[in-house]
Every structure is written in C-alpha cells, then in structure tokens.
Amino acid sequence: MSKQETKQKTRSGFVAIVGRPNVGKSTLMNYMVGQKVAITADKPQTTRNRIHGVVTHEGNQIIFMDTPGIHKPKHRLGEHMVKVAVQTLREVEAVLFLVDATMPKGAGDEYIIEILKNVKDTPIYLVINKIDLIEKEKLLEIITSYKDEFPFAEIIPISAVAGDNVERLRDLLLNLLPEGPFYYPPDQVTDHPERFIVAELIREKVLHLTREEVPHSVAVEVEQMQLKEDRNMLYIHAAIYTERDSQKAIIIGKQGSVLKKVGSMARQDIEKLLGSKVYLELWVKVKADWRNREHMLRNFGFTEE
Ligand SMILES: Nc1nc2c(ncn2[C@@H]2O[C@H](COP(=O)(O)OP(=O)(O)OP(=O)(O)O)[C@@H](O)[C@H]2O)c(=O)[nH]1
C-alpha cells in the first residue's frame, strides 16, 4: 500500500548495486537519482542493507540498495553477512555489478563474482564504469575478461560522471519492475529513507489484517530506530495513528491479538529488507482528524520541509 493514493497502476521494485570500493557506485546513484528526487542514505549506518537512492520516473519507482556485506571478505562477521547479502540479492528485481574500466579485474571482483554465483533467478548486469577514461579498443578487452566468468544478463559500459549510457541502464531497469505501489512519494526529499519503508511495511500489515474496518487514513510514524551493537539488534519504536477510539480497538484486537500479528509480520519483512535482527515495539494512538494538521503531515513525511 502506498501513502500516495495513485489512480494509475504504478510499478516499483528494489535493485542492488554491488562493486569494489571506488568503482563509482555513489556517482552512478547521484546521476540516476538527480536532484529532484534525491534521497541520500541514512547517515549512521544502522543496518546491513542500505538504501542508496530512489528513482521515480513516469509511474515507476526503483529503490537502489547497497549490501555492504558483499564488499568486505575479511570482516569478522563475514559468513553471516555474506548469507544475508545473498538472500537480499535473491529477492531484488536486478543486481548491478559495477566495475572500474581503468582497473584490471582484481581479487575483490573475483570475490564478488563467487558470491553472485549463489544468487539464483535474479538478473545480474555487469556495468563497466568510467569508460570516459579509456580507449575504445580497451573496452573489448575488459568485456572479454568478464564475460566467460558469469552469465550476465547484459554487459553495459557507462560513464557515471558524464552520464553516458546511464539513461539506457535506467530504462532497462524500469522495464523489469513488477506492478506495485510507490514506497516513497515521488517528489520527496528526505534523509531517512529507511524509516519511511519501515513505516510503510507496518501500515501495509495493519490494512491487510483489519481489511475494510480501518480506513486508509491510518498513519505510521517510526519514532525511534537504533542499533544495539552489543545485541546486534535493531530496536524500532513506531506509533500507529488512527482517527477514532473504535479504530484503535480494532487494530489492537482481542487481548492484543491483531497488533501482535501486525508486529510479527512487519518484523519479518523489515528483517528481510534491512538484513538485521529487529525488535519492534508498536503503539496505537488516536489523533483526531490528523489529516488536516499541517505539522502532523510534515511529521509523517507527506510534505517537504
Ligand atoms: N572519470 C570518471 N570518474 C568517475 C566515474 N564514476 C566515478 N568516478 C570517480 O571515481 C571516484 C569514486 O567514485 P564513488 O562514486 O565515490 O565510488 P563508490 O563505489 O561509491 O565508492 P565507495 O563509497 O568507496 O564504495 C570518484 O572520484 C568519482 O568522481 C566515471 O564514470 N568517470
């Protein structure tokens, strides 16, 4: 379900970007996202999977994510992180494997290819970046050095700085998206993308479990999201807002049964999305007629600050 009541059918999905440090992942994101819909990653990195940016284009929305677990073979949590990364890569619509045209294929690239071999059913695109820095003849050499290593869905040379071929790459990804709601309002600029997705997942479960009994006006605000390092667990505290006491009672259910279900279903989805164990605490609050209050709307992220 989307916060936006869209009349047309929309399409949306997740795309993962993987690659060694410095290959140009952020530059590519910045180019694709552009200023209008720029969403930067949460500053403190609280999760294994990071939302990098969101691209909304003519009824389609791509959410780009980064899976840092895949980049650091020597990390102590290596094995677990790799497992989480592979799981994530299996569930996205596409994976972009970014390499640097000016650098020979190295151990870091080989390591990523080995991981990608465990990812079934997700199309994986080899994106050769920084082609503005190399001679045309060199490109063929690079393609040859990668193409037999893995059955890439396609090999796409780009320059993320100059924007060469980036639109083509974007269009190709847009065409892969399944029908689905927007996760972000199309024009929103925010530095808390993860919070919005978490709120949206909770809201979706509320609507799903209460059917028509609770109107779509229900809103969710993530009040706190904090990683407890010692327990390796993400604590999330969220409030579900309704307009009336009667709706609050429905959402809570007999002896809290409905709210419990909302919590456990949302928690599972959030854990999958962010690759982190989650402790989710939910409160139901009544805020009469919240829709009409300007500052509340801002709080919920419906308008720009
Ligand atoms: N000439 C040229 N430089 C590029 C291109 N893409 C990225 N760069 C440069 O390469 C450097 C690294 O780019 P980033 O986008 O920070 O790379 P990254 O993969 O996000 O790096 P990490 O955050 O370390 O993983 C920067 O100096 C960019 O300006 C390109 O297409 N052409």
Among protein residues, the one with the nearest Cα to ligand 1's atom 25 is: 21
Query: At residue 42, does pLDDT exceed 70?
Result: no
**Contact call for residues 201 and 225 (beta carbons, < 8 A):** no
b/e map 253-280, b = 16+ CB within 10 Å: eeeeebbeebbebbbebbbbbbbbebeb
Q: Which residue among 26, 43, 135 has the greatest number of ligand 1 atoms within 8 angstroms of its CB, and so is best to mutate?
A: 26
- Ligand 1 pocket residue status of 132, Cβ below 6 Å: yes
In the chain, % of residues over pLDDT 70: 76
- What does the pLDDT average to over 106-120? 89
Token pair belonging to 147? 């193409």
Domains and CATH numbers, the chain: 11-174 (3.40.50.300), 193-299 (3.30.300.20)
pLDDT tens by residue, 177-190? 999 888 776 655 44
Closest CA to 54 of 175, 162, 197, 159: 197
Ligand 1, atom 6: nearest CA belongs to which residue?
24
- The answer to whether the complex's ipTM is over 0.95 is yes
pLDDT of residue 40: 36
Q: What is the mean pLDDT of residues 61-77?
A: 66
Q: Which atom of ligand 1 is nearest to the CA of 160?
A: 31
Reduce the DSSP state of residue 132 to 3 states and report it: helix
Q: Is the CB of 160 under 6 A from ligand 1?
A: yes
pLDDT above 60: residue 38: no
Per-residue pLDDT at 205 exceeds 60: yes
pLDDT at 31 over 50: yes
Region of poorest pLDDT, from 15-19, 39-43, 95-99, 142-146: 39-43
**Among the atoms of ligand 1, which is closest to the Cα of residue 133?**
1
Q: Which of 24-33, 72-81, 153-162 has the highest mean pLDDT?
A: 153-162
Q: Which has more pLDDT, 83 or 299? A: 83
Centre of ligand 1 to C-alpha 238, Å, is 37
Nearest CA to ligand 1 atom 32: 130
45 lines ligand 1 (CB under 6 A): no
Average pLDDT over all residues of the chain = 80
Return the pLDDT at 170: 92
Chain centroid to Cα 303, Å, comes to: 21
pLDDT of residue 43: 35
Take residue 172 and report the two structure tokens written for it.
């190709």
Has residue 157 got a pLDDT over 50?
yes
Query: How does pLDDT run across 216-251, given as a tens digit for each residue?
Result: 668 888 888 887 777 778 899 999 998 888 999 999
Annotated binding site for GTP: 19-26, 66-70, 129-132
Both structure tokens of 264: 């456990």
CA dist., res. 210 & res. 257, Å (int): 12
What is the Å distance from ligand 1's center to 114 Cα? 23
Q: 129 CA to middle of ligand 1, Å?
A: 9
